[in-house]
Amino acid sequence: MNWGIVVEGDRDKAAYPELIRKIRNDVGVVLAVPCENDVKLMKHFVGWLKYFEWHAKIHVDKALVIRDSDCEDSIVWERRMGEILERCRFTPRFPVHFHATKCELESWLLADEQAINSVARSRGKAGIVAVVSVQLESHRDAKELFRKVISKVGLPADPKVYQEIAGAASITRIGERCPQFEHFRESVLAC
């Protein structure tokens, strides 16, 4: 089953397919398109859904539009995206679901320090990061905290590192530290 996902940026484009594959074992290609930021995502996601429908080089079976909620009410953002699609009167042939991540993707990547340490070791980096002891789903600047944590083990905050950490992360551990991750899991399984 092939997926089309619309996300905010290149780092999201790298990490979300890894998380989706951890949740579902029937995922084939994940065609991920970044929109640069949340504002552009809200303006352009319908165009990307039309692209998946008519122009993608693969057959898209399911679509998911994902944005950060920036610690606001994620359900409100999901409803807004649904309303935008409804207003444009475009009905794709594939199911479309919307997900607003509680705070930021980096909250989830911070949840499993062992994944960060594993990626650092695989790249020959020294040092170990400890458990991040903040409320991850209410920490307003998870991106900056994530950059600080991974810099301690010499990792850059680039898309490849995001992909590798997401690929190494335990979704059980993420779910234990970030209860709203279950909502993402439900969104992926609902598609």
For 149, the 3-state DSSP assignment is helix
On whether the pTM is more than 0.85, the answer is yes
> Is a pLDDT exceeding 80 seen at residue 191?
no
Phi, psi of 29, rounded to the nearest 5 degrees: -80, 140
For strand 96-101 and strand 30-34, is the pairing parallel, antiparallel, or unpaired? unpaired
- Say how far apart CA 161 and CA 179 lie, in whole Å: 24
Q: Are 108 and 169 in contact (CB under 8 A)?
A: yes
Return the pLDDT at 126.
86
Mean pLDDT of 17-41: 97
Tell me: the pLDDT tens digits for 72-102? 899 999 999 999 999 999 999 999 999 999 8
* Short-list 90, 85, 69, 40, CA closest to 178: 69
- Say how far apart CA 128 and CA 120 lie, in whole Å: 8
Q: Are 65 and 44 in contact (CB under 8 A)?
A: no
Q: Within 13 Å, how many C-alpha atoms sit on residue 60's CB side?
A: 27
Q: Percentage of residues in the chain with pLDDT exceeding 70?
A: 100
Q: Are 103 and 111 in contact (CB under 8 A)?
A: no
Q: For the chain, which residues make up each domain, given as ranges? A: 3-103+179-190, 106-177
- Say how far apart CA 108 and CA 104 lie, in whole Å: 8
Task: Say which residue the tokens 């935008």 belong to.
Answer: 84
Greater model confidence, 71 or 154: 154
70 confidence band (pLDDT: 50, 70, 90): confident
Q: Are 4 and 60 in contact (CB under 8 A)?
A: yes
Return the pLDDT at 183.
93
Q: Percentage of residues in the chain with pLDDT exceeding 90?
A: 91
Tell me: the pLDDT tens digits for 114-148? 999 999 999 999 889 999 998 898 888 999 999 99
> Is a pLDDT exceeding 80 seen at residue 3?
yes
Query: Which architecture, in CATH terms, is 3-103+179-190?
Result: 3-Layer(aba) Sandwich (3.40)
Return the pLDDT at 47.
98
Q: Are 129 and 152 in contact (CB under 8 A)?
A: yes
At 73, list the tokens: 């009410």
> Is a pLDDT exceeding 90 seen at residue 42?
yes
- Say how far apart CA 109 and CA 162 lie, in whole Å: 8
At 149, list the tokens: 């944590």
